[in-house]
């Protein structure tokens, strides 16, 4: 299932994500030489509708057409087929950012075996660091995510920006698999099509390629704001919902994503339960247990936050909500060594 290249396929630098299938037959690992032999690993298009990684890498590689890369590059191009259709994933496909070693899927398919193969090869190559590039679908600042709180991971995250999120769920994500043997981050570069995200991502990759090492000393407290993802909010499959008003179980505000990265007090309204009783949400904590009543309560039709919290990745994209989640819930986290 994995296609390997020791050169840049012809046409790669000019291709949009939707046309990449004409150049790459499927998930592909492209290895390019550089002045330092330990490669920087970069993954793009794990979600086919998030093309910031492709555009950023194209920008970096065009800049190095006439000169060598400062460091070898190992580029993994993920869900080429979903990118063809502009979708996060196709129906019947697993999420390409939930298939990596450490996943919780009951069955392993060809995608899981492919991801394990990529990890094993990267580990054997002595990867210097790993970057996974993403867009998101709601209003969010640019931010980096880490799964390990040691200085090298945090310094790599701080190279992208001062907003950093620490999370242990969901399992099976690319950065968590790579964090076992090298500094690894996931970076969220704003919504699809925003030029600022493409430029920021390209500058980050270029800076990482030029690093000789990542420091072992603690990150200065004033250099980043650290948050901890403590829960994932989902809308159960049997619950119908809409943004605005409708004959559904759950009505959500049309500007719900305004709450992203905002510290909301207890009693803030998330939406209305238009039909039925109880809470039309499910909340899974970092421990994998149900924590719905810890974070939400119902008063009449109103669904309210039961405690102060900071949402992230609230989206207005109904397909993404069904395929992934409504949002994550975060709390501020003390900086190690700070």
Q: What is the pLDDT of residues 298-337, one digit of tens each?
A: 999 999 999 999 999 999 999 999 999 999 999 999 988 6
Same domain for 255 and 148: no
Is the predicted pLDDT of residue 338 greater than 70, yes or no?
no
Same domain for 150 and 9: yes
Band of residue 35 on the pLDDT scale cut at 50, 70, 90: very high
Same domain for 296 and 206: no
Same domain for 157 and 22: yes
- How confident is the model over 260-292, as pLDDT tens digits? 999 999 999 999 998 877 899 999 999 999 999
Q: Where do the H-state alpha helices sit in the chain?
A: 52-63, 80-84, 110-125, 151-160, 174-178, 195-210, 292-295, 318-323
Spatial distance between the Cα atoms of 147 and 166, rounded to a whole number of angstroms = 6
Same domain for 266 and 131: no
Is the predicted pLDDT of residue 295 greater than 70, yes or no?
yes
Domain count, the chain: 2
Is residue 112 within 8 Å of 102, Cβ to Cβ? no
Same domain for 61 and 37: yes
Would you say residue 337 lies in a domain?
A: no
Would you say residue 212 lies in a domain?
A: yes
The enclosing H or E element of 298 equals strand 296-299
Is residue 96 within 8 Å of 78, Cβ to Cβ? yes
Q: Structural domain of residue 301, as residue ranges?
A: 229-332
pTM confidence score: 0.94
Q: What angle do CA 254, 256, 261 make, to 5 degrees?
A: 155
Spatial distance between the Cα atoms of 219 and 199, rounded to a whole number of angstroms = 25
CA distances to 172, 199, 237, 274, 278 from 251, in Å: 31, 36, 15, 6, 14
Same domain for 273 and 205: no
- Order of strands, sheet of 296-299, starting from the edge strand that comes earlier in the sequence: 241-243, 250-252, 269-273, 302-305, 296-299
End-to-end Cα separation, the chain, in angstroms: 45
Would you say residue 338 lies in a domain?
A: no
């Amino acid at each position: 299932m994995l296609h390997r290249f020791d050169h840049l396929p012809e046409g790669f630098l000019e291709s949009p994500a939707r046309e990449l299938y004409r150049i790459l037959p499927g998930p592909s690992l492209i290895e390019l030489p550089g002045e330092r032999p330990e490669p920087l690993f970069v993954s793009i298009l794990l979600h086919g509708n998030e093309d910031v990684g492709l555009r950023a890498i194209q920008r970096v590689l065009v800049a190095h057409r006439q000169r060598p890369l400062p460091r070898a590059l190992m580029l993994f191009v993920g869900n080429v087929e979903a990118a063809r259709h502009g979708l996060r994933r196709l129906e019947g496909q697993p999420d390409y950012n939930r298939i990596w070693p450490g996943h919780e899927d009951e069955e392993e398919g060809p995608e899981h075996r492919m991801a394990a193969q990529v990890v094993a090869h990267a580990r054997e190559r002595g990867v210097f660091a790993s970057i996974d590039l993403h867009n998101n679908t709601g209003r969010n600042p640019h931010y980096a995510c880490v799964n390990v709180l040691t200085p090298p991971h945090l310094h790599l995250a701080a190279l992208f920006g001062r907003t950093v999120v620490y999370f242990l769920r969901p399992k099976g994500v690319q950065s968590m698999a790579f964090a076992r043997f090298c500094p690894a981050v996931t970076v969220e570069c704003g919504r699809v099509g925003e030029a600022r995200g493409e430029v920021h991502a390209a500058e980050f990759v270029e800076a990482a390629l030029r690093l000789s090492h990542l420091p072992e000393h603690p990150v200065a407290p004033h250099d980043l704001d650290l948050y901890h993802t403590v829960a994932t909010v989902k809308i159960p499959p049997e619950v119908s919902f809409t943004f605005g008003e409708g004959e559904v179980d759950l009505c959500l505000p049309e500007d719900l994503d305004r709450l992203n990265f905002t510290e909301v007090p207890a009693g803030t309204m998330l939406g209305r339960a238009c039909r039925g009783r109880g809470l039309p949400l499910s909340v899974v904590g970092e421990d994998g247990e149900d924590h719905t009543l810890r974070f939400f309560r119902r008063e009449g039709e109103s669904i309210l936050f039961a405690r102060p919290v900071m949402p992230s990745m609230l989206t207005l994209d109904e397909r993404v909500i069904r395929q992934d989640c409504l949002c994550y819930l975060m709390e501020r986290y003390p900086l190690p060594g700070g």
